[in-house]
């Protein structure tokens, strides 16, 4: 094995933040394996040290490409961020979610298992497959229910969460049956720089600035446990370094917020940092819209295993993290314009079509 890691989905929101953080704090090479769907953007990795990272455009389900990539680079770990990740898209079209999150993840596990079996025994022991998952696999909580722990039963409610739950079960089984050294993390909602603007927080920031309505689903009283993306990435690094093989780790922000309060906080930050020309409050743009079908009411993570076993805790509060996030979107109009215009999609087609 070499001092190299493979990061699947590394051109997406969390994966790219992870790669940038890794290159800043850890040694060795990083191979990003990403299909570059609508959510994958090579520009997210623009700040990466090009001498130490390489982007390979391929599907995690492409057995021959993934087998060859693992044989060539001999990574000490594979971290799987690749997924279809948007609940609303999963409601409109679940097929892609089953394909990537279940079928292609199965194929990736088989590629990784074959590579792992080819290693000498000492290297087999050191190798890790880390699977990045979500708290949504646990379903929904009532207002007074205890937060999700690692012992909470799976009860997914959306096509997205069901497909992620299926992938978590496959990962578990590949450890239990074949001995593959796996780690799984289940994290709450992330926010921060490089977040594709169809998810709640970046959508609200950009719609507000463009004078568009801010669409709040249903009564806006749904609760999510928000974690700044860099804190998620430090948690994943900690699990990779010291997590117990075969275990799952719940990562969360200890920061439950109602959707409407998140939107109001975004509006207040924008009122301060980029006031409307007419002097009115951005909150005037809030518009309640039809609810999401099957909308989970509340998510909350009990992250005590991360704290007690691995000494991890978030370093950003919601106030500091959200301020940084709003400031990042205000400071990066070019990234926003590219993503929104689809210009980067054209570039991806031009630059990568022949490589895929
Ligand atoms: P994202 O949609 O921004 O990025 C996903 C990336 O995976 C994209 O770069 C995309 O091109 C790539 N991809 C998709 N299908 C692929 C395939 N078949 N082969 C190779 N690459 C493929 O998602 P994200 O928000 O960065 O989430 C990353 C992971 O973290 C996902 O597994 C998600 O379930 C999990 N997660 C997300 C959150 C959140 O709040 N965003 C919270 C907890 C867990
Ligand atoms: P989202 O960012 O899609 O994450 P998830 O569904 O995975 O939690 O949505 C976060 C919450 O915000 C969720 O309860 C749905 C809600 N929401 C809205 O109210 N309006 C919107 O336009 C979007 C995209 C989400």
**101-136: b (≥16 Cβ within 10 Å) or e:** bbebbbbbbbbbbebbeeeeeeeeeebbbbbbbbbb
Q: Model confidence over 20-55: pLDDT tens digits?
A: 999 999 999 999 999 999 999 999 998 777 789 999
Cα(124) to ligand 2 centroid in Å equals 40
Please state the rounded mean pLDDT for residues 338-351.
Answer: 73
Q: Please, are residues 327 and 272 in contact by the beta-carbon 8 Å criterion?
A: no
**Measured from the CB, is residue 189 less than 6 Å from ligand 2?**
yes
Q: Model confidence over 99-143: pLDDT tens digits?
A: 999 999 999 999 999 999 999 999 999 999 999 999 999 999 999
Band the pLDDT of 351: cuts 50, 70, 90: low
Domain of residue 197, CATH code: 3.40.50.720
The percent of residues in the chain predicted with pLDDT above 90, rounded, is 93
**Measured from the CB, is residue 187 less than 6 Å from ligand 2?**
no
Cα(282) to ligand 1 centroid in Å equals 30
The percent of residues in the chain predicted with pLDDT above 70, rounded, is 96
Q: What sign for the dihedral angle of Cα 129, 130, 135, 136?
A: negative
When divided into structural domains, the chain yields a total of 1
Instruction: State the residue range of the domain holding 88.
Output: 4-290+298-352
Please state the rounded mean pLDDT for residues 265-269.
Answer: 98
Residue 93 CA to residue 105 CA, distance in Å, equals 18
Cα(301) to ligand 2 centroid in Å equals 17
Q: Please, are residues 239 and 249 in contact by the beta-carbon 8 Å criterion?
A: yes
Average pLDDT along the chain: 95
Please state the rounded mean pLDDT for residues 259-270.
Answer: 98
**Measured from the CB, is residue 263 less than 6 Å from ligand 2?**
no
Q: Specify the 3-state DSSP secondary structure of 312.
A: coil
Band the pLDDT of 221: cuts 50, 70, 90: very high
The pLDDT assigned to 342 comes to: 77
Whose C-alpha lies nearest to ligand 1, atom 41? 190
User: CA–CA distance from 327 to each of 230, 270, 275, 321 (Å)?
Assistant: 15, 9, 13, 10
Pairing of strands 256-258, 223-225: antiparallel
- Ligand 1 neighbours by CB, cut-off 6 Å: 8-9, 11-15, 34-37, 39-40, 59-61, 81-85, 100, 104, 132, 134, 164, 187, 189-190, 196
Cα(83) to ligand 1 centroid in Å equals 4
Cα(199) to ligand 2 centroid in Å equals 6
Q: Please, are residues 136 and 225 in contact by the beta-carbon 8 Å criterion?
A: no
Which has the closest alpha carbon to 233: 26, 42, 61?
26
**Measured from the CB, is residue 58 less than 6 Å from ligand 2?**
no
The pLDDT assigned to 352 comes to: 60
The secondary structure of 42-75 as a DSSP string is: GGGGTTS-TTTEEEEE--TT-HHHHHHHHHHH--
Residue 88 CA to residue 129 CA, distance in Å, equals 29
Whose C-alpha lies nearest to ligand 2, atom 22? 215
Please state the rounded mean pLDDT for residues 71-79.
Answer: 98
Tokens found for residue 40:
């994958």
Whose C-alpha lies nearest to ligand 2, atom 7? 87
Residue 322 CA to residue 343 CA, distance in Å, equals 27
Which has the closest alpha carbon to 165: 45, 261, 83?
83
Residue 335 CA to residue 340 CA, distance in Å, equals 9
The pLDDT assigned to 348 comes to: 63
The pLDDT assigned to 174 comes to: 98
Please state the rounded mean pLDDT for residues 91-103.
Answer: 97
Residue 355 has pLDDT above 60, yes or no: no
Q: Which ligand is nearest to the CA of 8?
A: 1
């Amino acid at each position: 094995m070499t001092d190299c890691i493979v990061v699947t989905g590394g051109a997406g929101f969390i994966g790219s933040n992870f790669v940038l953080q890794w290159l800043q704090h850890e040694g060795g090479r990083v191979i990003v394996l990403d299909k570059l769907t609508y959510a994958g953007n090579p520009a997210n990795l623009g700040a990466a040290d090009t001498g130490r990272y390489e982007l390979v455009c391929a599907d995690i389900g492409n057995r021959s490409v993934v087998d060859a990539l693992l044989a060539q680079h001999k990574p000490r770990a594979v971290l799987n961020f690749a997924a279809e990740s948007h609940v609303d898209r999963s409601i409109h079209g679940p097929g892609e979610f089953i394909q990537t999150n279940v079928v292609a993840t199965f194929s990736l596990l088989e590629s990784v298992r074959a590579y792992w079996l080819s290693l000498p025994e000492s290297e087999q022991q050191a190798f890790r497959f880390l699977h990045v998952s979500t708290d949504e696999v646990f379903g929904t909580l009532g207002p007074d229910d205890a937060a999700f722990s690692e012992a909470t039963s799976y009860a997914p409610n959306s096509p997205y969460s069901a497909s992620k739950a299926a992938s978590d079960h496959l990962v578990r089984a590949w450890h239990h049956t074949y001995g593959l050294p796996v780690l799984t993390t289940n994290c709450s909602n992330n926010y921060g720089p490089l977040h594709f603007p169809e998810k709640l927080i970046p959508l609200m920031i950009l719609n507000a600035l463009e004078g568009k309505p801010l669409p709040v689903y249903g009564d806006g009283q749904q609760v999510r446990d928000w974690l700044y993306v860099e804190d998620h990435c430090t948690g994943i690094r900690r699990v990779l370094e010291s997590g117990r093989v075969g275990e799952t780790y719940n990562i969360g922000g200890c920061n439950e917020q109602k959707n409407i309060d998140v939107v109001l906080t975004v509006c207040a930050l924008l009122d301060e940092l980029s006031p409307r020309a007419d002097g009115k409050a951005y909150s005037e743009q809030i518009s309640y819209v039809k609810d999401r079908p099957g909308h989970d009411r509340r998510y909350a993570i009990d992250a005590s295993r991360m704290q007690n076993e691995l000494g991890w805790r978030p370093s950003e509060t919601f106030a500091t993290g959200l301020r940084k996030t709003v400031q990042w979107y205000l400071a990066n109009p070019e990234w926003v314009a590219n993503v929104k215009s689809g210009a980067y999609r054209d570039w991806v087609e031009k630059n990568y079509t022949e490589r895929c």
